[in-house]
Amino acid sequence: MTAQLIPTRRSFPADDPIFALNAEANTRKAAGESVLNATVGALLDESGQLVVLDSVMELWRGLGTMEVAPYAPIAGDPAFLKALVRRHWPQLAAAGAACTTPGGSGALALSLRNFLEPGQSLLTTAPFWGPYATLAAENGMGLVTAPWPGVGEPLNAAAWDGALRHLMTRQGRVLLWLNDPCHNPTGRSLSAADRAVLLDLLRQVSALGPVTLLLDFAYLDYTREPEAVEAALRDYAAFGTEGRVLVGASLSLSKSMTLYGARCGAIAFPWCAEPALQAALTQSCRGTWSNCAKAPQSLLLRLEQDGKAQARLTAEHRHWSEVLSARAQALDAALVAEGMKPLHWQGGFFVTVATAEPEAVCVRLKAEGVFTVPLPEGLRVGICGMRAADAPRFAQALHRVLARP
Ligand SMILES: Cc1ncc(COP(=O)(O)O)c(C=O)c1O
């Protein structure tokens, strides 16, 4: 019975493609096959169990009735917003225009509604997290990309300049979603030099019309290079302070607190406190989800007041960053042993192996019991769910598949 559905809503795939691949991997595993499932997008320990940060769960269990049951304010708890922003920029005294959202996804959706007209396109990197395209499509918008630098390559400034100017000419405004540092799906961050080049291009195009830079900070706590992440945050803060480009952040408790299912995050513009911007965000909240869950907001406030819990959380982040780093290093070593190039992970849950015909390679890898996510640029490999010990099997299977005509 699809007659009731309007025609444009009748032919979507039954399942999200990544979840479908994951389900296929799990079915084959349940049937007794030895499966290497690198499609998972959540952090798993060495026995394949979901990692849940103990420091966070202890705080969660301590929440009282009034920290869970009442409605939160429509735009979110101001103290929560300030605390979340200050986790990224401790020097800031206020969150600026901000509201709580259901995860980073909610923040991304809200940015579309408020900074682009239907029919216009956002700009992001290629490759990008697949649901970016879904979010754009759901809002009647398109998505244009400019290339993320390849391993050891500089940013393609000409391509970025072209994309920025093309969009500015066509639609008179630009919204850029930038998942840096700790990019999903490459696992690499912009170098300081590339970041400076990109910010300068944004500065230049902002002379032609309004530009919004939304930083998608989904994975900052999981990195091989915490100092480089700090430096990136400082660069973006300095850029936001200039005030030429509206700089905001999509913040999330999903990965940082392993509270994926609590659906909590925020969109914040720490360097802009204009009432019109705040009112627009609040209106979007009311007209979309009304208000967000109170419990995760209460949890962050407890964390803010608990130095011991903060220290434990930092230690847990360091531990799991080291685990991810060891997995990435094992994968690089295994790829090199098979005559392929290393991927140089810096942060986040994924790396991407560049290949021609990723769909076909993905299918042939599945025949070997190895599950990856095909992207236009290559194969996404979730090191978040793959043990270091599985790296040789992965590299050998990939080598076999690529060697076959
Ligand atoms: C790059 C990126 N941005 C945003 C998100 C949004 O996650 P959530 O809505 O759970 O915060 C994800 C989740 O996987 C992601 O990978």
> Distance, CA 218 to ligand 1 centroid (Å)?
6
Q: What is the DSSP string of 313-355?
A: HHHHHHHHHHHHHHHHHHHHHHHHHTT-------BSSEEEEE-
Q: Which pLDDT does position 366 carry in this prediction?
A: 96
Q: Where are the alpha helices (DSSP H) in 89-147?
A: 103-115, 131-138
Q: Are residues 286 and 143 in the same domain?
A: yes
Last residue of a domain, one of 288, 307, 326: 307
Which is the closest atom of ligand 1 to the Cα of 216?
3
Q: Are residues 277 and 361 in the same domain?
A: no
Residue 123 pairs with which residues in a beta bridge?
Answer: 144, 176
Q: Are residues 87 and 170 in the same domain?
A: yes
> Distance, CA 171 to ligand 1 centroid (Å)?
27
Q: Which domain holds residue 343?
A: 7-52+310-403
Ligand 1, atom 12: closest residue by C-alpha = 218
Which is the closest atom of ligand 1 to the Cα of 105?
9
Within a domain: 63: no
pLDDT digits (tens, 9 = 90+) for 314-359: 999 999 999 999 999 999 999 999 999 999 999 999 999 999 999 9
- Cβ partners under 8 Å of residue 356, min gap 6: none
Q: Which pLDDT does position 405 carry in this prediction?
A: 65
Q: Are residues 29 and 142 in the same domain?
A: no
Q: Nearest-5° angle of CA 367, CA 369, CA 375?
A: 75
CB 158 within 8 A of CB 192: no
Q: State which of 16, 19, 105, 135 you would mutate to test the pocket of ligand 1, scoring each by most atoms of that ligand within 8 A of its C-beta.
A: 105
Within a domain: 59: no
Within a domain: 57: no
Q: Are residues 377 and 289 in the same domain?
A: no
CB 95 within 8 A of CB 224: no
Encoding tokens for residue 400?
């076999």
Within a domain: 344: yes
Q: Which pLDDT does position 16 carry in this prediction?
A: 80
Within a domain: 66: no
Within a domain: 385: yes
> Distance, CA 368 to ligand 1 centroid (Å)?
29
Q: Which pLDDT does position 404 carry in this prediction?
A: 77
Question: Which residues lie with the beta carbon below 6 Å from any ligand 1 atom?
Answer: 41, 103-105, 129, 179, 184, 216, 218, 252, 254, 260, 265
Last residue of a domain, one of 307, 339, 362: 307
Q: Are residues 120 and 162 in the same domain?
A: yes
Measured CA to CA, the distance from residue 169 to residue 112 in angstroms comes to 19
Count of the separate structural domains present in the chain:
2
Q: Are residues 269 and 336 in the same domain?
A: no
Last residue of a domain, one of 257, 290, 307: 307
Q: Are residues 213 and 291 in the same domain?
A: yes
Q: Are residues 246 and 346 in the same domain?
A: no
Q: Are residues 185 and 316 in the same domain?
A: no
Strands (E), 137-295: 142-147, 174-178, 211-216, 246-252, 265-269
Tracing tokens 């939304």 back to the chain, one arrives at: 214
Which is the closest atom of ligand 1 to the Cα of 128?
1
Q: 220: domain CATH number?
A: 3.40.640.10
Q: How far is CA 140 from the centre of its chain?
A: 21
> Distance, CA 255 to ligand 1 centroid (Å)?
8
Q: Where are the alpha helices (DSSP H) in 224-306?
A: 226-242, 275-288, 295-304
Which is the closest atom of ligand 1 to the Cα of 129?
1
Q: Are residues 209 and 290 in the same domain?
A: yes
Within a domain: 1: no
Measured CA to CA, the distance from residue 105 to residue 84 in angstroms comes to 16
Q: What does the CA dihedral 190, 195, 201, 205 come to, rounded to 10 degrees?
A: 90
Q: What is the DSSP string of 36-78?
A: EE----S-B-TTSPBP--HHHHHHHHT--HHHHSSPPPTT--H
Q: Are residues 297 and 375 in the same domain?
A: no
Measured CA to CA, the distance from residue 163 to residue 359 in angstroms comes to 27
CB 158 within 8 A of CB 148: no
pLDDT tens, per residue, the chain with 405 residues = 578 999 999 988 877 888 889 999 999 999 999 999 999 999 999 999 999 999 999 999 999 999 999 999 999 999 999 999 999 999 999 999 999 999 999 999 999 999 999 999 999 999 999 999 999 999 999 999 999 999 999 999 999 999 999 999 999 999 999 999 999 999 999 999 999 999 999 999 999 999 999 999 999 999 999 999 999 999 999 999 999 999 999 999 999 999 999 999 999 999 999 999 999 999 999 999 999 999 999 999 999 999 999 999 999 999 999 999 999 999 999 999 999 999 999 999 999 999 999 999 999 999 999 999 999 999 999 999 999 999 999 999 999 999 976
Within a domain: 62: no
Q: 380: domain CATH number?
A: 3.90.1150.10
Measured CA to CA, the distance from residue 46 to residue 224 in angstroms comes to 19
